[in-house]
Amino acid sequence: MSAPAALWLRRDLRRSDLPALGAAAAAGDGSVAPLFVMDPALLSGAGRVRRTWLARSLEAAVRSYDGALHVRVGDPRVVVPAFAQEVGAGSVHVSRETTPFGVRRDAAVSEVLAGGGVRFVPTGTPYAVGPGLVTKSDGEPYKVFTPFLRAWREHGWPAPAVEPDGLSLVGPTKTQARERDSALADLDEQDLDVDLPDAGEEAALRRWREWRAAGGLTAYATDRDRPDRDGTSMLSAHLKIGSIHPRTLLADLDGEAGPGAETFAVELAWREFYADVLWHNPTSAWTDLRPTLIGMAYDDAGDQFEAWQQGCTGYPIVDAGMRQLLATGWMHNRVRMIVASFLTKDLHIWWPLGAQHFMDHLVDGDLASNSHGWQWVAGTGTDASPYFRVFNPVTQGLKFDPDGDYVRRWVPELRHLDGKSAHEPWRVPNGYTQGYPECIVDHAEERQEALGRLAAVTK
């Protein structure tokens, strides 16, 4: 029997549509030893929701790989070369990582491996089109979305990868498997008071299938903007951890006509665009992509920041979103924009503080999408238009949650109010009888304040 190739899984916890698996099988003559490394440097920054999601996704991946998945704890620069030596692998196969941390880590691991005569082989990425591959005709990256979208489509992507025939997985020993299962159980907070989706590639594919069967795609173009409806695919956490690949989804969209399928592909393209932006601008994860607002006056995070975090601002749609985040690890995209606008434009707090809170609590917390989504709202990112993006939290609530159902679902103190009055408790005599807090700021005033601060630095 020939020596196996190692398959190091990271943001790709699945077995289907995984090009690196095919590459590993080819290198190992069918024999593959799959590995995941729990890197303390990453885990410590993940927050308990994302750690638990990782644990459950890993437990599902263990099942996908028929129990043959190795899980090791430690610094990948040490663990991966040791693993390669242990199983006798001549090559380590991965999906190419494109985040700033991942790029640095892979370069370091690759170097150590090379010293031991082991090849480090990236195949594919977590994206339909790998970051850096879509460029203008002069080779420069795109900085606005619409032209990127056109070029991204034109570039195209391969069909889903087919699992290689005759695959022979090299799994852990019984002792190692026991240690693995116990490490995963430790990471999985059973008493987590947050309702997470079912983890794993099977659950992801099932959700995708059932959502489409229920007409989700047909209604997507309009319903995706409605937090009061089950209008989104809820696949973001799966895409983040790689229990499903966007290429799989795009292939299924091929047979679908209509605005829903079109809009869904565009949303996937946004994910790819922001990954591309981060690839070209690694520092934009936590600092302004554009220097236009350098010198902008921000307020320190104090009681108002805490009120925002806890969902006690007195603006119903803002509070509903922030409480949905704490309760489920997820927030509807429309509401993410509203609460982000509120933090940056009404409370005048610097966007990275909000982005960090999101990363601490979102199960789908994706560095590229999160940071650039925040920057888009703050006016420092792509398509910077700070003057045009001061959301009115009441108008937005009335428009996208017209019957107040979303607000009542997440804010119990407003459940006694009918219809849209839940968005304006100050307009009804019994609005505050159940303990709902009064507005911590006056939106009209803070809007003027925000525009004034912007004007002061954009001259």
Partner DNA sequence: TTTTGAGTTGTTCGA
Partner DNA sequence: GTCGAACAACTCAAA
- Residues in touch with DNA (CB under 7 A): 136-137, 140, 142-148, 150-151, 225, 266-267, 270, 292, 333-334, 337, 373, 376, 382-383, 385, 387-392, 395-396, 399, 443-444, 447, 451, 455, 458
Closer residue to DNA (CB): 79 or 265: 265
Amino acid in position 302:
G
Closer residue to DNA (CB): 189 or 267: 267
Could you give the C-alpha distances from 29 to 5, 26, 145, 309, in angstroms and in order? 8, 5, 42, 52
Closer residue to DNA (CB): 207 or 334: 334
CB 212 within 8 A of CB 255: no
CA–CA gap between residue 350 and residue 76 (Å, rounded): 34
Work out the burial of residue 459: count CB atoms within 10 Å of its CB; fewer than 13 is exposed, 13-18 middle, 19 or more buried: exposed
CA–CA gap between residue 183 and residue 201 (Å, rounded): 21
Please name the residues in contact with 446: beta carbons below 8 A apart, sequence gap of 6 or more. 345, 346, 347, 348
Shortest Cβ 172–DNA spacing (Å): 42
CA–CA gap between residue 160 and residue 225 (Å, rounded): 29
R_g over Cα of the chain: 23
CA–CA gap between residue 219 and residue 208 (Å, rounded): 14
Shortest Cβ 138–DNA spacing (Å): 8
Closer residue to DNA (CB): 143 or 229: 143
CA dihedral 298, 299, 301, 302 (to 10 degrees): -170
Closer residue to DNA (CB): 98 or 341: 341
CA–CA gap between residue 397 and residue 10 (Å, rounded): 38
Shortest Cβ 416–DNA spacing (Å): 24
Shortest Cβ 189–DNA spacing (Å): 31
Shortest Cβ 183–DNA spacing (Å): 37
Shortest Cβ 270–DNA spacing (Å): 4
Closer residue to DNA (CB): 83 or 342: 342
Closer residue to DNA (CB): 86 or 267: 267
CA–CA gap between residue 330 and residue 30 (Å, rounded): 39
Shortest Cβ 273–DNA spacing (Å): 8
Please name the residues in contact with 101: beta carbons below 8 A apart, sequence gap of 6 or more. 42
Closer residue to DNA (CB): 140 or 165: 140
Shortest Cβ 147–DNA spacing (Å): 4
